């Protein structure tokens, strides 16, 4: 999974008591972002992520390892943050998936992927989004990766690599303040420094260098 890209969670209000880095003790939604999602047709398309009420994005990046337990994935928003009926397993080698002849949309299945099938379904979904969805003039959609919330919280702080926000401009300013407050609270609670778990800015329009260290980083 660590070779696929970054696993991120956007603060979406489902966290415990407005503590963004503490998950509810049930399923939680995350997403994998990676460079090959970039559609060659449309330079104005940004990295696909969930955006809460179009006011920017802020959340956490997970550290690869056993601290995050993945339950399933889907090619788009699962609507309820839970696993659906699982898609039939498909071997990646020799897969003859044709995105232009896919009656079930992205990935050829409207259900959920088992973790061991992520390779083939991430590949299929990405091909569909770039070759079909974007050329129809539609935005490329984000994937939804459902993780075990209780396991996430039990493994804090070691499963969090960094916090991020979309910056303090325009409508995103309020969410940037939230991200900074969450980051500072996390550092204080676990006795960590910003060099260990940094606060980053995330620009989804910058495919080449989407993350950078925030100009003002909270210090413990």
Cross-strand bridge partners of residue 29: 146
Looking at the structure of the chain, the number of domains it has is 1
Order of strands, sheet of 211-213, starting from the edge strand that comes earlier in the sequence: 70-74, 144-148, 27-33, 6-10, 58-62, 160-165, 199-202, 211-213
d(CA 112, CA 86): 5
Structural domain containing residue 205: 6-213
The answer as to whether 1 is a domain residue is no
The answer as to whether 92 is a domain residue is yes
The answer as to whether 41 is a domain residue is yes
| Digit-coded pLDDT (tens) for 191-208 | 999 999 999 999 888 999
- Read off the pTM: 0.89
Q: What does pLDDT average to over the chain? A: 86
The answer as to whether 218 is a domain residue is no
The answer as to whether 189 is a domain residue is yes
| Digit-coded pLDDT (tens) for 98-152 | 988 877 778 888 899 999 999 999 999 999 988 888 777 677 889 999 999 999 9
| Digit-coded pLDDT (tens) for 81-91 | 789 999 999 88
- Whether residue 220 is predicted with pLDDT greater than 50 in this model: the reply is no
The answer as to whether 91 is a domain residue is yes
The answer as to whether 115 is a domain residue is yes
The answer as to whether 151 is a domain residue is yes
Contact 5, 119 (CB under 8 A): no
């Amino acid at each position: 999974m660590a070779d696929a890209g970054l696993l991120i969670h956007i603060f979406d209000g489902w966290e415990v008591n407005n503590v963004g880095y503490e998950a509810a003790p049930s399923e939680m939604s995350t997403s994998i972002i990676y460079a090959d999602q970039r559609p060659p047709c449309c330079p104005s398309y940004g990295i696909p992520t969930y955006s809460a009420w179009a006011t920017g994005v802020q959340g956490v990046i997970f550290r690869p390892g056993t601290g995050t337990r993945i339950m399933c994935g889907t090619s788009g928003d699962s609507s309820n943050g839970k696993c659906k009926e699982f898609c039939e397993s498909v071997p990646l080698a020799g897969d003859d998936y044709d995105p232009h002849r896919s009656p079930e949309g992205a990935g050829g299945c409207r259900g959920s992927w088992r973790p061991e099938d992520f390779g083939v379904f991430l590949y299929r979904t990405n091909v569909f989004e770039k070759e079909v969805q974007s050329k129809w003039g539609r935005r490329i959609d984000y994937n939804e990766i459902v993780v075990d919330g209780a396991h996430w919280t039990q493994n804090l702080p070691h499963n969090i690599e960094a916090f991020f926000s979309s910056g303090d401009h325009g409508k995103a300013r309020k969410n940037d303040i939230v991200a900074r407050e969450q980051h500072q609270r996390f550092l204080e609670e676990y006795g960590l420094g910003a060099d260990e778990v940094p606060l980053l800015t995330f620009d989804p329009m910058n495919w080449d260098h989407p993350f950078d260290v925030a100009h003002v980083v909270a210090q413990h």
